[in-house]
């Protein structure tokens, strides 16, 4: 389940489009290391496309000298990532001062099933962002970030709902994290078997993965005559 | 997109089954905090069921005093989590000695669309494990962990493929992390709107999320007459 010690990259591609300019890492901290270096990209277009493809992320921080990672939501607005939290969370409590964090956004695109266990792999796209998160204090920026978060989960939804009250805005913590130090990494393409394994009578190929949306379940207390809204219909492709 | 400052939990349930014994946190480090405390669980059955539901995880560690988080694969064997890496990775390089890590496994089960932006939420199940990871040196344990990882991605696959060579085993790093300090957290159930919002002409409900497997794409160099194997057919429910 890893890269080969002597990789033959015939079947594996790093990203689906050619990359004459993969960009340059903003710092050593985000430089993609070791034998999968060819999978790294640092250009804003690649990084933004991955961040824009899912709101789900994992946020890491250091507490009492030890690492902690939790799932949360992110949204990109221009070259800033906004992180969602509540005021009582570690993020809400700690980011009054610039707070060192690392965020990973990962999309799993396929299971790569090789003829050997060793060459099994996963097609994925991921971004890692490092930097200092700071709580947003400006109400207008906070409102924009929260609406953008709702719209990142279901595009168009923010305009359909009741806007937040002042009290609700206060009860929500939003942190901003510049995208200055970010890197993207991906594996795409097919199976990368050893040449001597190609004749084995073992199936090899890729099983695509994607996120499926099920049929919407209306709230039991929903009043009669309220249809599934345009945002949800668009999400489901209907 | 958060819990209410004065939560009315009529529609929200913490886990789908009753929980007379939610277990007890093994340490303060894994205790679920703040206003979502009712979502925490510490019993092994709940924790194991989430870890067993997906191989995908995020691994956090501290490097030069700063947090780092990367996606990787995990598998549970009894009360141990095995983490997959390569020998050149940070995990492979650092875990010769016990190495402080935190692992998060998260499943996103549904989008909770409320009448207000504030009460939008996500149904999820997640586990956070804290502890010290140590590289596995025993070849038999490593082989068992790697086979278990392959089988966690596609149940039954390990028995179908060519076993690893000694060289391949050496080129793969596997770390073991005890599940002694772990906690589960989940949100399930429906929308949790403010009472005064219930009459608004706004749709509310849940959009279920799941992982979809696409039709398998055979490797272009696959020999004639090799069918999609039982493991993949079972994965696709065929």
pLDDT digit string (tens) for A157-176? 999 999 999 999 998 999 99
Lowest mean pLDDT segment, chosen from A83-97, A205-219, B168-182: A83-97
**Chain-wide mean pLDDT for chain A?**
89
With contact defined as beta carbons under 8 Å apart, do B90 and B68 qualify? yes
Residue of B nearest to A210 (CA): B212
* Interface contact A68-B62, CB threshold 8 A: no
B18: confidence class by pLDDT, cuts 50, 70, 90: very low
A145: confidence class by pLDDT, cuts 50, 70, 90: very high
Q: Which CATH class is domain A12-235?
A: mainly beta
Q: Alpha-carbon distance A109 to A53, whole Å?
A: 12
* Interface contact B153-A111, CB threshold 8 A: yes
Which tens digit of pLDDT belongs to each residue from B133-148? 999 999 999 999 999 9
Task: Give the predicted TM-score (pTM) of the model.
Answer: 0.89
Q: Answer yes or no: is the ipTM higher than 0.85.
A: yes
With contact defined as beta carbons under 8 Å apart, do A82 and A174 qualify? yes
* Interface contact A219-B204, CB threshold 8 A: yes
Residue of A nearest to B169 (CA): A118
Calculate mean pLDDT across residues B162-172. 93
* Interface contact A34-B163, CB threshold 8 A: no
| H/E run at residue B169 | helix B166-170
* Interface contact A104-B191, CB threshold 8 A: no
Percent of chain B residues past pLDDT 90, beyond the cut: 76
Q: DSSP state, B207?
A: E
CA distances (Å), A180 to each of A57, A157, A203, A214, B112, in order?
18, 29, 43, 37, 32
Q: Alpha-carbon distance A79 to A178, whole Å?
A: 6
On chain A, the residues whose CB falls within 8 A of the CB of B113 are 154, 157, 232
Q: Which CATH class is domain B12-209+227-235?
A: mainly beta
Calculate mean pLDDT across residues B22-42. 72
Calculate mean pLDDT across residues B185-213. 97
Q: What's the pLDDT at A12?
A: 52
Q: Alpha-carbon distance B175 to B97, whole Å?
A: 11
B7: confidence class by pLDDT, cuts 50, 70, 90: very low
Percent of chain A residues past pLDDT 90, beyond the cut: 75
Q: What's the pLDDT at B150?
A: 98
Q: Alpha-carbon distance A165 to B6, whole Å?
A: 14
Q: Look at residue A6 and tell me whether its pLDDT is greater than 50.
A: no
Calculate mean pLDDT across residues A37-56. 90
CA distances (Å), A130 to each of A27, A103, A176, in order?
10, 7, 12
Among residues B71, B83, B70, the alpha carbon closest in space to that of B142 is found at: B83
Lowest mean pLDDT segment, chosen from A51-60, A102-111, A229-238, B32-41: B32-41
Q: What's the pLDDT at B49?
A: 97
* Interface contact B147-A117, CB threshold 8 A: yes
The rounded radius of gyration (Å) of the Cα atoms in chain B is 21
Lowest mean pLDDT segment, chosen from A56-70, A222-236, B31-45: B31-45
Q: What's the pLDDT at B178?
A: 97
| H/E run at residue B144 | helix B139-153
Calculate mean pLDDT across residues B79-95. 85
Q: Rounded to 5 degrees, what are φ and ψ at B166?
A: -60, -40
A205: confidence class by pLDDT, cuts 50, 70, 90: very high
Distance in Å, alpha carbon of B172 to nearest chain A alpha carbon: 7
Percent of chain A residues past pLDDT 70, beyond the cut: 88
On chain A, the residues whose CB falls within 8 A of the CB of B88 are 33-35
């Amino acid at each position: 389940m890893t890269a080969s010690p002597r990789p033959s990259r015939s079947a594996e591609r790093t990203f689906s489009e050619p990359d004459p300019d993969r960009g340059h890492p903003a710092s050593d901290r985000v430089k993609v290391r070791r034998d999968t270096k060819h999978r790294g990209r640092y250009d804003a277009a690649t990084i933004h496309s991955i961040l824009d493809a899912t709101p789900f992320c994992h946020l890491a921080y250091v507490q009492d000298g030890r690492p902690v990672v939790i799932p949360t939501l992110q949204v990109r607005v221009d070259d800033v990532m906004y992180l969602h939290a509540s005021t009582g969370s570690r993020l809400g409590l700690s980011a009054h001062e610039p707070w060192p964090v690392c965020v990973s956004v990962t999309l799993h695109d396929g299971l790569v099933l090789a003829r050997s266990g060793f060459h099994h792999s996963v097609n994925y796209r991921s971004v890692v962002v490092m930097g200092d998160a700071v709580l947003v204090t400006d109400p207008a920026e906070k409102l924009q970030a929260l609406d953008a978060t709702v719209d990142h989960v279901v595009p168009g939804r923010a305009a359909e709902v009741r806007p937040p009250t002042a009290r609700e805005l206060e009860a929500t913590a939003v942190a901003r994290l510049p995208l200055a130090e970010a890197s993207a990494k991906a594996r795409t393409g097919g199976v990368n078997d050893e040449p001597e394994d190609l004749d084995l009578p073992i199936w090899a190929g890729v099983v695509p993965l994607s996120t499926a949306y099920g049929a919407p379940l209306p709230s039991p207390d929903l009043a009669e005559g309220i249809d599934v809204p345009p945002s949800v219909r668009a999400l489901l492709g209907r």
